[in-house]
Structure 1
Amino acid sequence: MKQKRTWIMLWIVMSTILLMNQLPDLGAYVQTVKVLHARDAFSYEWPPSTETYKAMPVSDERDAWMSRIADEADTINEPASNARIDRVWKAIPPYKGLKVNLEQTYQVSRKGKGDIYWVLEEVEPQIELSDLGAQPIYRGNPRKPMTALMINVAWGEEYLPAMLETLDRENVSATFFLDGSWLSKHMDTARELLRAGHELSNHAYSHPNMSELSAYRARTEIEKTEKLLRELGVDNQLFAPPSGDFDQETVKIAKSLGLYTILWTLDTVDWRHPPPAQIVQKIRTQVEPGALILMHPTDSSSAALPEMIKEIKKKGLHISTVSDLISPNRVDSVEVPLQF
């Protein structure tokens, strides 16, 4: 009899060892069995289904939900990008990050039907553009799925109506950098640009080569155009040097006036009047997130603009103003296809 009890005990021990080797998480298995026994059922199921979650005591249900949310949140959380100075592209704007609010996500999701309803928060960058000093900007943050059309205007307005019609039809806002001498003669046209929702910015006053000017003359060129913009009610923060000609002194002067110096990523070279298809091909093959696209109101760009916009949108990129592009704000409708 004693020998029989010994064999029984040995069998129990061996069975327990075998069971532990077969289950990846014995504690999880025991918890599942405990919950399902309460419903007169039995299963080896893990992780528990939605129905099993709902059958758990409140504390266990919360732990299980929070574990699931935390695991999936790791695939959504995204750190912020600080503003930085690139060896080639100079000042790179910051971009806000994203993180899951675990507690609020749990509170919202537990009232649903088993789906996770994400509650997201933005993460602020620690270094802003203003922290980088006097640096030119050639592009936006490469993580931001957006481009900007920068249209420099220093002569004529023959092609502006057609370009405005295209921008309106495509629901696109652009930034018009206006030469002050042109602006002084076309204030009504500038008001029309504002009414259409476009951004107006500074392109100096008489289209000089800024690097060849004295500090006094360079400041005067910028200030005269700023005065005209203020008369239009524009609170401007951008300066595009004519012909892209500048030196470090130009950038410092612009910064002292509260302006970022803006250059470009892609140049349509439309002042040479290339075939519109050539401009479209350049956009199709070279545009990328953060691109600043330089244009002028010419026959080539006016004709190319509809297809340019289509090619940019095909790549899933938003098109907005330069100020929008260089801001740290997220483009959530593209970057976060999540259910709230």
Structure 2
Amino acid sequence: MSKSSSFRLASLLVCLCAIWFAGTYGPLAPFVQAVKHPEPQSAAFRTEGQPLPSLREWIRSEAAKRNIPPSDAIIDRVWKAIPGYNGRVIDVEATYAKAKAIGLMPDSADFPWVYKEVPPAVGLENLPLHPIYRGNPAKPMVAFMINVAWGDEYLPSILDALASENVKATFFLDGSWLSKHEDTAKEILARGHELSNHAYSHPNMSALSNARQRQEIAKTEALLKKLGVRNVWFAPPSGDYDARTVKAASEFGLRTVLWTLDTLDWQNPPASAVVSKIAQRAGRGYLILMHPTATSQHALKGMIRSVKAKGYRIGTVSETLSPDRVESAPPGV
């Protein structure tokens, strides 16, 4: 081989090595990797004369359509304090990583959206002291408030009905009742329900002095703490309260809560009438008041199923009044 041929061959090898190095480690590396491992793209999004968007770009553009802003807590003229409700935004990077890992395209029916909740700028804690009558109207959840001030003959069947429907409720306990039925209260708690304060002797709170109002709340709160309950709610007996009541409750770290819809079960209506009432009138964020009565004992399963038929979840008062998002349930679930 001539010297000139050897020189040309050596030069060619040097050039090839330089190209390989640039494509692997140099400025051409990103281009080479993009060609070898392109982002998934979908033919469904091809536009005449336009390049396809990358998967990440498509997720980012879709996010703007799917994001839901949070709802601030407000003071309403009728419903007083209404809790806020978290918004949701798509986590673009988490969604991209999940979709790419399983090889899904933008037009996939089961595209794996990953959401993050966004809290409202104004929560209940930012509002002036007012009672609460309902949860946020955008939240597909309902709570049963069970005020207990007398007897316990209907409680076992009510607890069994709640268990059979896989529902948790909030029991507001009168302190004088609680002092005589501690074992029953422990059973309610053991079944996963929420216990809260319903004063001590079922008085009309607005008729009491400031000191007596505080005493009514304090005595029951002490009994709840004895059971290990960390309570945050106070339901005034008969729904009777004034501004002093709301302030007194707040001194114990409690928010005053009433109801959106009353079963009026203490008037002993037919169970079918109560079920019909709930089916017609229950709405998002509703707090439904009931008591351990014969009517509620027979109506409870029907009430629960009527709420579920609307696609609402059923939770405790704390869950329903929280800003946490929940998804609508399939009707009947």
Whether the TM-score (by the shorter chain) exceeds 0.5 is yes
Aligned pair partner of 1:81 in 51, 54, 71: 71
Q: Secondary structure at the match of 2:65?
A: coil
Q: Deviations over 1:132-163 (max 9, x none)?
A: 12110000011111000000000011111110
- Does residue 113 of structure 1 match 2:104? yes
- Counting only pairs closer than 5 Å after superposition, residues 272-283 of structure 1 correspond to structure 2 as 272-283=267-278
Match of 1:21 in 2: none
Shift of 1:105: 1.8
Give deviations 1:242-294, integer Å, cap 9, x for gaps.
00000011001111210010100000000000000110111010000100000
Secondary structure of the equivalent of 1:330? coil
- Tell me the secondary structure at the aligned position of residue 110 of structure 1: helix
Is 1:294 the counterpart of 2:285 in the alignment? Answer: no
What is residue 98 of structure 1 aligned with on the other side?
88
Question: Which residue of the partner structure matches residue 18 of structure 1?
Answer: none
Cα distance in 2 between the residues matched to 1:133 and 1:51: 51
Out of 214, 234, 243, the residue aligned to residue 238 of structure 2 is 243
How many residues were matched structurally? 284
Q: In structure 2, the residue corresponding to 1:74 is in which secondary structure?
A: helix
Question: Using the alignment, how far apart are the partners of 1:241 and 1:214 within structure 2?
Answer: 15
Aligned residue type for 2:157: A
Does structure 1 retain, via aligned residues, the 8 Å contact 2:262–2:288? yes
Task: Show CA shifts across 1:56-94 (max 9, x none).
Answer: xxxx77x43233223322332111111111111010011
- Matched residues in 2 for 1:159 and 1:95: separation? 35
1:117 Cα deviation after fit: 2.0
The letter for the 1-side match of 2:256 is T
Partner of 1:66: 56
SS at match of 2:120: coil
Aligned to 2:17: none
In 2, Cα distance between the equivalents of 1:122 and 1:104? Answer: 14
Q: Distance in 2 between the 1:321 and 1:253 partners?
A: 23
Aligned to 1:206: 201
Asked whether the equivalents of residues 234 and 256 of structure 2 are also in contact (C-alpha less than 8 Å), the reply is yes
The aligned amino acid for 2:62 is E
> How far apart are the structure 2 equivalents of 1:137 and 1:208?
20
Return the alpha-carbon distance in structure 1 between the equivalents of residues 200 and 300 of structure 2.
27
2:54 alignment partner, SS class: helix
Percent identity (aligned): 56
TM-score (norm 1): 0.80
Write out per-residue CA displacement over residues 167-202 of structure 1, whole angstroms, 9 at most, x where no aligned residue: 010010000000000000000000000001111000
CA distance in 2, matches of 1:173, 1:254: 24
Identify if the C-alpha distance between structure 1 residues 303 and 106 changes in structure 2 by more than 3 Å, giving closer, same or farther.
same
What are the residue-to-residue correspondences of 1:137-156 with 2, within 5 Å?
137-156=132-151
TM-score by length of 2: 0.81
Cα RMSD (Å) of the superposition?
2.1
Counterpart residue type for residue 199 of structure 2: A
How far apart are residue 51 of structure 1 and its match? Answer: 11
- Provide structure 1 residue ranges, at least 5 long, that are not aligned to the other structure: 1-37, 39-46, 53-59, 336-340
